[in-house]
Structure 1
Amino acid sequence: MGKVKTAVYICVFILVWAQLVLPLIPGYAQNIKLQDFSLYNTAWNGCFMLRIELTRNGYDVRPLLSSLSILSRAEGTTVVILAPSSFINPLEAIQLADFVRKGGGLLIADDFGTGNIFTMLLFYSLGLPSPQFWNAPLLGSYTGGVSTWTYTPAVTEFNTSHPIFKDVRQIILNWPTALWNVPPENQAAALSPAFIDMNRNGQMDPLELLPSATVVAVYDLESMGFEVGGQNVSYGKGRIVVVSDPSIFNNDMLLRGDNLRFAINIIDWLSRRNEGGESNLVVFDEAHLAAPYYYSYGKLFGSILGYIDWASANWFLAPIYPALIVFSIWRWLPRGKPKEMGPTAVYLKRGKTFLTERLEWYKENKQYGYALKLLYRRMKRHLVRRFKLKEYSVDAAVRVLSDVVTAMRRTQLKRFLEEWEAIERGEKPIYMNSETFLNHFFVMKKIMEAVMVEKRG
């Protein structure tokens, strides 16, 4: 078996059996609970409490461990992406945009992660200006003045007519950032006054003060259409909420101020619950959360499923994906070696022997070292018969061949024979590529041709 196939088989074996063995290790399957913003993390930095509250309000809350491409099968669902820290596949972004365009709801909350990549790819796919996160701490005032600042400010300026702020008087933030490039009609909540601490020194420097810092943006695509030449142009039917602080949704901050009411209102609005919405499914994207210092079972399993989901949900690959899997398995599965048998009448007619069958099998499976080993054994037997050697040895072979193979020097002959002998005895690795095999094959062919010419002479 060649090196490449051996490596492939080992990787496949590990990946397949890891899914079955790892959950049996005490505590390993529970490691996902330690991830920031995980639905199953009961510590202060998890979202376990949010999951419980949403379930209590009648929602079916599920995690997504694989690829956002799977959303093509869940139209009308509400998706929550909190503090993404890994990059999104551009093809996933296209699927996400298509999901929103068809009526899906989406909440993206980030501060210092990769949220800008998500919003940029998503909004550009929708044809809208992309809101961006500053990725620097936003400090708010304690008293409304500019003398005292805090990393946990309270937001009290809302678009009170919007449903997501129903019964909400204040939202408590925790180390937030701010949004920019948000059109005025999409700005829903702001912190004022505030400043962006670009150099992170905790002090307000010149040009860092913001009269009003947007922290919540809302997009109702259905109401954002416009007319061109009498034709109505629509961005889609979905809804998007962008929040510049994911911490307000974790276990520590959820019960502070009116954060819980705000979170429930967002999901209600995105899912159109109060407007006759039919889907109560809320999907939390855990595939793009920050990876822990270990590689958890959920992360490993989700990574594998991500490729499968992406390929099976892709409109181009989905029809041919099963055929690709079958072909890959057929291509890489080892073929059985031909059984040793005497040449039948059919084989004699075809001029085919067991030796040629074995050589063809080695060639087809790229096991060139074994093919060279087989040819060398055949050459040894021929030399013993031709020169009537009592016992084969490299020195004896060099002695009789040096007068026959005049095109090669004695030292060159000995070097090749010693190398072949080492391969034949298993003292040297037999793995080689086709080019190396052909070099050895042509040298062996030159020796045998010289022997045959000498015999006829």
Structure 2
Amino acid sequence: MRIGSREVGYPHLLAAGLLLTMLIGVGIGASTSSSTYGAFNPAWDGGSGVRDVAADSPAETTIAYNTTDYGEAKASQSVAFVISPETGYTDAESARIESFVRDGGTLVVADDFRPHGNALLTRLGASARINRTPLRDDRHQFKSGALPIATQTTSDSLTSNVDQLTLNHPATVAANESTVLVRSSNFSYRDTDGDEELDESESLQSYPVVTTERLGAGEVVVVSDPSIFINSMLEQPDNRAFTASLVGSHETVFLDFSHTKERPPLQIALRTLRDSASLQLLFGVVVVGALALISRRGRFEL
């Protein structure tokens, strides 16, 4: 086989094939993430399924790596997901999110045993708080008492297609002035001593796991189990339906990863390119130059 004036043999083709395979592997690695709850993590603990649910709706999905992204869409037509942030939000960041909610946006805060979800709720002025004591249910459960099924739902647009939620090592919500949307069964209990057994000091009762409250013109939804949004749990009853209800008819869905390790290099590069007109021009010049160089070297000859 000849390419222009050069003879190319099978060793060259094999090397080219290996190089192409390696580049594909690098490309996949650069465009995906291993971060728990990550929007580009397709594994069991990833959150790529939430991105798929949003993609199934007419809404535009934005992966927010900075809270300034909240100002890019009309708040009253937007919903934002904050799922188990790994670090705390600053005053300035919290103020941007508060403005988003008070202007009509819907904010979903899902957290369990990390402190940053509660810290954000405090900064926003919301009343609900996550009680970080593990919740168990040895009667209504999926596989074990550590995966309780929340069986009690309130009539609301967010629960219209939801009869239950399947939880995975959840906490609970202290509702305070908020409205409870979903509760655990009457056979659940807070495992205060962590021994995975019901003790005399622990009582069977129903606990809130999802609440909602108004904040200005917007709404704050608190979920005490971020795991309902991971890929392995999204297909359990009725987690996907609940996620779809949260997305609803919103025009924009923000997946807030501004405080997680979710940083696929390719996604960052594409985002940077999209936001910079000068980089777009430079990229175009490079592509045109490369095509011109290839065309000058002649065409393939077999």
TM-score under structure 1 normalisation?
A: 0.49
How far apart, in 1, do the equivalents of 2:33 and 2:139 lie?
35
What do you get for the CA RMSD once the two structures are aligned?
3.0
Q: Secondary structure at the match of 1:188?
A: strand
Percent identity of equivalent pairs = 25
- Aligned partner letter, 2:223: V
| Map of 1:349 onto structure 2 | none
| Map of 2:122 onto structure 1 | 120
How far apart, in 1, do the equivalents of 2:256 and 2:102 lie?
19
Gaps of 5+ in 1: 1-22, 222-234, 274-278, 310-457
Do the aligned partners of 2:31 and 2:40 also contact (CA within 8 Å) in 1? no
- Aligned partner letter, 2:104: G
1:45 CA drift (Å): 0.7
Do the aligned partners of 1:241 and 1:266 also contact (CA within 8 Å) in 2? no
| Map of 2:182 onto structure 1 | 189
| Map of 1:288 onto structure 2 | 259
Gaps of 5+ in 2: 1-22, 276-302
Deviation string 1:307-335 (CA, Å, 9 cap, x unpaired) is: xx9xxxxxxxxxxxxxxxxxxxxxxxxxx
Greater helix fraction, Structure 1 or Structure 2: 1
How far apart, in 2, do the equivalents of 1:28 and 1:255 lie?
25
1:206 CA drift (Å): 4.0
1:134 lines up with 2:136 in the alignment: no
| Map of 1:99 onto structure 2 | 100
- Rate the CA distance shift 1:193–1:296 in 2: closer, same or farther, 3 A: same
1:50 CA drift (Å): 2.1
| Counterpart pick for 1:200 among 188, 194, 197 | 194
Q: Secondary structure at the match of 2:233?
A: coil
How far apart, in 2, do the equivalents of 1:54 and 1:296 lie?
19
Moved over 6 A (4+): 298-301
| Counterpart pick for 1:245 among 225, 236, 248 | 225
How far apart, in 2, do the equivalents of 1:99 and 1:179 lie?
23
How far apart, in 2, do the equivalents of 1:110 and 1:286 lie?
14
How far apart, in 2, do the equivalents of 1:152 and 1:299 lie?
34
Matches within 5 A, 1:321-332: none
Q: Secondary structure at the match of 1:33?
A: coil
1:24 CA drift (Å): 12
Do the aligned partners of 2:79 and 2:246 also contact (CA within 8 Å) in 1? no
Do the aligned partners of 1:193 and 1:213 also contact (CA within 8 Å) in 2? no
Matches within 5 A, 1:295-306: 297=265
How far apart, in 1, do the equivalents of 2:266 and 2:94 lie?
22
Q: Greater Rg, structure 1 or structure 2?
A: 1
| Map of 2:71 onto structure 1 | 72
Matches within 5 A, 1:366-405: none
Do the aligned partners of 1:186 and 1:217 also contact (CA within 8 Å) in 2? yes
How far apart, in 2, do the equivalents of 1:109 and 1:195 lie?
20
1:30 CA drift (Å): 2.5
1:300 CA drift (Å): 8.7
How far apart, in 1, do the equivalents of 2:59 and 2:267 lie?
25
How far apart, in 2, do the equivalents of 1:298 and 1:91 lie?
28
Equivalent residue pairs, number: 245
Do the aligned partners of 2:131 and 2:173 also contact (CA within 8 Å) in 1? yes
| Counterpart pick for 1:151 among 126, 135, 146 | 146
1:205 CA drift (Å): 3.2
| Map of 2:158 onto structure 1 | 164
How far apart, in 2, do the equivalents of 1:153 and 1:24 lie?
41
- Rate the CA distance shift 1:39–1:193 in 2: closer, same or farther, 3 A: same
How far apart, in 1, do the equivalents of 2:199 and 2:162 lie?
32
1:203 CA drift (Å): 1.9
Deviation string 1:403-423 (CA, Å, 9 cap, x unpaired) is: xxxxxxxxxxxxxxxxxxxxx
- Rate the CA distance shift 1:28–1:202 in 2: closer, same or farther, 3 A: same
How far apart, in 2, do the equivalents of 1:121 and 1:208 lie?
32
1:182 CA drift (Å): 2.6
- Rate the CA distance shift 1:249–1:163 in 2: closer, same or farther, 3 A: same
Do the aligned partners of 1:28 and 1:296 also contact (CA within 8 Å) in 2? no
1:168 CA drift (Å): 1.6
Greater strand fraction, Structure 1 or Structure 2: 2
